[in-house]
Structure 1
Amino acid sequence: MKNFLILPVCILLYLQLPAQTNNPVLLNIKNGKIEGYHDAQKNLNVFLGIPFAKPPVGDLRWKAPQPLEAWNGIKSTKKFGPSPVQANVFSDMVFRRDGQSEDCLYLNVWAPAGKSKEKLPVLVYFYGGGFVAGDGSEPRYDGAAMAQKGIVTVTTNYRLNIFGFYAHPQLSKESEYGASGNYGLLDQLAALQWVRDNIAVFGGDPEKVTIAGESAGSISVSAQMASPLSKDLIAGAIGESGAAIKPTLAPVSLAEAEANGKRFAEKAGYSSLAEMRNTSTEELFEKYKASEGFRFSSVIDGYFLPKPLPEIFRSRKQAQVPLLVGWNSAEIPGTSFMQGQPYSEENYINKVKQAYPEDYKEVLKLYPHSSKEEIEQSATALASDRFIAYSTWKWFDLQRKNSEEPVYRYLFSKIRPPLKTAAARQTQPAGAAHASEIPYFLGNLELTDEYAWTAEDYKVSKLIQQYLANFIKTGNPNSEGLPEWPSAKAGDASPPVLIMATESKVKEAEDDARYLFLDKAYGND
């Protein structure tokens, strides 16, 4: 009986694996020869699990990624490498990888087959997962659909949680740059350096690299734009819900990060850095999971990030590149703000007073409450803004005011259809949920087939993909046959926003007063 229960899952995972042919594809990259395969159905060359740095294990645990040495012979790159070590914390994540390990620094490339007269634009996509989970092998991040539009597409792994963001005074002391933490972000930087050095072999243009990501991946994009180490490696940026700006996974000071790391070591019973490095992956990760209250953040380390992002952008020291950025209409349910209380006027007002005791009257005007339906909408909007929408708006606002490059803003409002399983059907959500846009953006609805997609969903996805492909190729999402998407100007009080929905259209921003209020509340103004 157990075998029959397992069989459908096995079939599902098999169907999500990239289709292969018997035709190998050999390439000679900087470190040696690799062998991928030709996907004849899609006319793509696919290379999975390419190492881009030395395995960060043993003495290299909690060190910046180190350059790979050359190898002899041919390295097979036909399956995804191991994912970073993580717990199963997000139910919507499905991996196609080969287990998990600290040895996780691998990337994947989908490239159009055949020779092009010109080098092709490149997309490098960073996965989300709150810097605690995620992997470049997820079906919703598959690069085939974008590659079929003439774009060399890359997904890359980076270290997570305690392995990717742990800081400690001893680690800072031994470092060449006098700081610690940010290893996951430095992994992303190493991947971008690998792209610069190798992507031409795959047909890509190292001078036309657009970076993109969702949630923690979007936060990563904002950080890579701000870093003096990576800003010159990119020609464009796409952010889907998230920026490394208070209150959303903003970097902390090195002193705070080191103190946090020191407290963890003491609580976990470690007396030295050497002891921590000699601890097995399993034991260290179990102690991390058991340690309540320890979350390791990105760091203002004076190396990768010299200052908070608002300061970097205001001084115009960020990457001066086109930016396409936005968020979803219902990033998080209003129940998270209500903390389980019913949507009544009394409950809502009380929650607003608790959150904003000095400014609750202003908040109630910005997020009104004239009916139960309006309360649900306002609670959802307030929860979403506090969670991730405001920080993304701030990134948008900083770039349009401190760059001559165009900035395009969207609001994704297409509500995802229900799951196919009848037991999972629920009431209509208030809007488009966090992360629901990913398969629409990357053209992977069919690879996330647990949802009851309709022709309408595929229509929306096709439109969005064309905007993104145009942007990656030219820095401008517009082309003939698409609704015109104007860029936002520095002085626009109500900047244009593309509403991505069943019928997409451009509107003037209606809710920026909310973000101006939160700007002051979070001290980012």
Structure 2
Amino acid sequence: MAGGVKAAPGQGDGEVRVNAPAGALRGYREDGLQVFKGVPYARPPVGEYRWRPPAPMPIWSGVRDATRFGPACPQPPSRPGSLYAPALPGQHEDCLTLNIWTPEAARRAPVFVYLHGGALNTGGGAEPMLDGAALARRGLVVVTLNYRLAVLGYLAHPALSAESPQGVSGNYGLLDQIAALRWVRDNISAFGGDPDAVTVAGESAGALSVLYLLASPLARGLFHRAVAQSAYLISHPALSRAECGEPPAEEIGERLVHALGARDLDALRALDAHTLTRAAAEAGYAPLGTVDGRVLPRQLLDVFERGEQAPVPVLAGFNSGEVRSLRFLLPPPPADSGAYEAAVRRGYGDLAEDFLRLYPAADGEEGRLAALRDALYGWTADRLGRACAAVGQDAWLYLFDHGYAAASERGLHGFHAAEIPYVFGTAARTTPLWPRIPDREEERRLSRALGDYWAAFAWDGRPAADGQPRWPAYAEHPGGRWLRVAAAPTPVVDPLPGHFALHDTLVRRRRRAGDTPWNWNIGCAAPPLAGTSETP
């Protein structure tokens, strides 16, 4: 077999072995694919390794079984009634593993590395909806992985920084992702993959992670294309100073340790991982990357505005109903339309009329859902398109606006993450509370189209699908070209005229003021806006 993969002697047609630089592995065949699960890419981050950068995994002896998923990172429970509660094969700190689906005849095939979402709090690479088989049958080597989550993955603290030779802390989950990409670079040829054609992709927190990887010097050269589905380009805490209205990340960590009643790091490391993770979530800890000057050199938006991101083509987009399944992000509703308009005028000043024109009080909750959608997800996609165009890189943007009966009946048209089972071809493998996708030809046709577009992008950086419209590059029109995905894909120019420009102006004002985050504080939740006019 190509790529170092061969049938396991005496094991029958169902098993295969690979001799990778990391060590020998035993996987299995499945409908023309070879599958390897639970492959360790770094040392388990337990005991003394908790809150340390991932260490290389020693080459193992013998043949390691790779026929079962590894456990996910310990994580807090999902919100009650969440559509996104994943089905995972247990949880354990020994979680730094990845999974590989590869065509049997693969020879230097493009590699598609997918990062799961879950607000950096939940999820895992074994989620059934992320099964890589359908994409692998398009000629890709597909990789999913676990990385450290929640307090285990993103805690910053002065004592942790003091332990670090670089004087930094936090970002451990991001460092795990970088370690996994290094493992792919060093080992994926043995599975028939091309280490010089790696696409990194993700949705929601996975897409935020893609932004981190685009911005991080430590990830440079480890991937060659990027896919960001429903990314959110928000402000982040800096390590040891207040920035953009965010307290220092180390201070956030100190507050958490005090809230947990731990004496020192040894006491914190002695806590059971599940107890620690749950207690941190109950104390209000919300994981985010840390701007530490090393792993993340500066605010993400500053990186993209300076053109310092990785010089790779980007496919990015958002969904028309992003916040319909995330209503907990909305601020409390105003008492009436008068209260709504008054709150907007207080928060937006001279921008209030533009805001009320786009999101009028008469629209009620629909307007508030649209405003937060556009501020978090739509503006981010458009900003990525403009950032790529500014440095001569291709960008391909989409708006997923597809609905079906089970979703619409629950008010979830085009909801957050709704595109994932279409891309992966896993409509029958969604989570228990997911609105069931009908088994109809029109749905299968759309899934084939999206899978083809994504796979083609992984092949050569240009999304294309047989029998479907040409996907125009963002820079082909001054207003930005997009692909609107409804019943079928359709090229459009700027799907929401004026919406992204308004939020861009708002972010610029907040950045200039320096004391206000740009994230969920939109509409009625917006604090008074500094300044009364835009300046260069």
- Cα distance change, pair 78–456 in 1 and its aligned pair in 2 (3 A): same
Range that drifts further, 441-450 or 22-31? 441-450
2:460 paired residue number:
474
TM-score normalised by length of structure 2: 0.85
Deviation at 1:22, TM superposition (A): 6.2
1:6 paired residue number:
none
Using the alignment, how far apart are the partners of 2:405 and 2:425 within structure 1? 16
Letter in 2 for 1:514: H
1:192 paired residue number:
181
Deviation at 1:446, TM superposition (A): 2.1
2:250 to 243, 254, 258: 258
- Cα distance change, pair 475–270 in 1 and its aligned pair in 2 (3 A): same
What SS does the corresponding residue of 2:474 show, helix, strand or coil?
coil
Q: Is the 8 A contact 1:254 1:299 kept in 2?
A: no
Matching of residue 26 in structure 1 with residue 9 in structure 2: no
- Cα distance change, pair 207–34 in 1 and its aligned pair in 2 (3 A): same
Using the alignment, how far apart are the partners of 1:226 and 1:186 within structure 2? 13
2:424 paired residue number:
442
Q: Is the 8 A contact 2:234 2:376 kept in 1?
A: no
1:168 paired residue number:
157
Matching of residue 320 in structure 1 with residue 311 in structure 2: yes
Long gaps (5+) in structure 1: 1-19, 420-424
Deviation at 1:324, TM superposition (A): 0.6
What SS does the corresponding residue of 2:177 show, helix, strand or coil?
helix
Q: Is the 8 A contact 1:254 1:300 kept in 2?
A: no
1:158-192 alpha-carbon deviations (Å, 9 max, x no partner): 10010000011111111122100000000000010
Deviation at 1:113, TM superposition (A): 0.9
Using the alignment, how far apart are the partners of 2:334 and 2:437 within structure 1? 31
* 1:244-283 mapped onto 2 (5 Å cutoff): 245-246=233-234, 250-255=236-241, 256-283=248-275
Work out which structure has the larger RCO, using CA pairs closer than 8 Å and 6 or more positions apart in sequence: 2
1:360-392 alpha-carbon deviations (Å, 9 max, x no partner): 2221122245xx5x4454332102123433233
Range that drifts further, 503-512 or 352-361? 352-361
Q: Is the 8 A contact 1:488 1:495 kept in 2?
A: yes
Letter in 2 for 1:128: G
Deviation at 1:359, TM superposition (A): 2.9
Matching of residue 225 in structure 1 with residue 214 in structure 2: yes
TM-score normalised by length of structure 1: 0.87
Question: What is the percent sequence identity of the aligned residues?
Answer: 35
* 1:84-95 mapped onto 2 (5 Å cutoff): 84-90=73-79, 91-93=82-84, 95=86
* 1:67-146 mapped onto 2 (5 Å cutoff): 67-90=56-79, 91-93=82-84, 95=86, 97-114=88-105, 116=106, 118-146=107-135
CA RMSD after TM alignment: 2.4
Using the alignment, how far apart are the partners of 2:387 and 2:22 within structure 1? 39
1:304 to 268, 274, 295: 295
Deviation at 1:489, TM superposition (A): 1.6
Letter in 1 for 2:491: V
Range that drifts further, 385-394 or 67-76? 385-394
1:434-470 alpha-carbon deviations (Å, 9 max, x no partner): 1111111111112228604132221111111111111
Q: Is the 8 A contact 1:252 1:297 kept in 2?
A: no
Deviation at 1:513, TM superposition (A): 2.1
Q: Is the 8 A contact 1:215 1:240 kept in 2?
A: yes
Using the alignment, how far apart are the partners of 1:122 and 1:400 within structure 2? 25
Using the alignment, how far apart are the partners of 1:479 and 1:416 within structure 2? 22
Letter in 1 for 2:461: G
Deviation at 1:98, TM superposition (A): 3.0
Using the alignment, how far apart are the partners of 2:118 and 2:417 within structure 1? 10
Using the alignment, how far apart are the partners of 2:286 and 2:67 within structure 1? 35
- Cα distance change, pair 73–95 in 1 and its aligned pair in 2 (3 A): farther
Q: Is the 8 A contact 2:72 2:88 kept in 1?
A: yes
- Cα distance change, pair 64–348 in 1 and its aligned pair in 2 (3 A): same
Letter in 1 for 2:460: T
Deviation at 1:493, TM superposition (A): 3.5
1:518 paired residue number:
503
Q: Is the 8 A contact 1:21 1:38 kept in 2?
A: no
Q: Is the 8 A contact 2:178 2:219 kept in 1?
A: yes
Using the alignment, how far apart are the partners of 2:135 and 2:237 within structure 1? 31
1:52 paired residue number:
41
Q: Is the 8 A contact 1:257 1:297 kept in 2?
A: no
Letter in 1 for 2:427: L
Using the alignment, how far apart are the partners of 1:207 and 1:395 within structure 2? 23
Deviation at 1:414, TM superposition (A): 0.4
Letter in 1 for 2:178: L
Long gaps (5+) in structure 2: 1-10, 242-247, 512-535
- Cα distance change, pair 413–286 in 1 and its aligned pair in 2 (3 A): closer
Using the alignment, how far apart are the partners of 1:284 and 1:375 within structure 2? 40
What SS does the corresponding residue of 2:173 show, helix, strand or coil?
helix
- Cα distance change, pair 266–338 in 1 and its aligned pair in 2 (3 A): closer
Letter in 2 for 1:463: A
1:504 to 474, 489, 514: 489
- Cα distance change, pair 283–427 in 1 and its aligned pair in 2 (3 A): closer
2:401 to 413, 425, 438: 413
Letter in 2 for 1:469: A
- Cα distance change, pair 59–207 in 1 and its aligned pair in 2 (3 A): same
Using the alignment, how far apart are the partners of 2:358 and 2:160 within structure 1? 46
Deviation at 1:480, TM superposition (A): 4.9
Q: Is the 8 A contact 1:241 1:326 kept in 2?
A: yes
Matching of residue 339 in structure 1 with residue 324 in structure 2: no
1:239-281 alpha-carbon deviations (Å, 9 max, x no partner): 10014x225xx35444401111111112222221122112222
Using the alignment, how far apart are the partners of 1:304 and 1:43 within structure 2? 39
1:136-170 alpha-carbon deviations (Å, 9 max, x no partner): 11111110010000000000111001000001111
Q: Is the 8 A contact 2:385 2:474 kept in 1?
A: no
1:62 paired residue number:
51
Q: Is the 8 A contact 1:499 1:505 kept in 2?
A: yes
Letter in 1 for 2:394: P
Letter in 1 for 2:98: L
- Cα distance change, pair 317–449 in 1 and its aligned pair in 2 (3 A): closer
1:3 paired residue number:
none
What SS does the corresponding residue of 2:78 show, helix, strand or coil?
coil
Letter in 1 for 2:19: N
Using the alignment, how far apart are the partners of 2:495 and 2:437 within structure 1? 32
Letter in 2 for 1:321: V
Q: Is the 8 A contact 1:127 1:214 kept in 2?
A: yes
2:471 to 460, 472, 485: 485
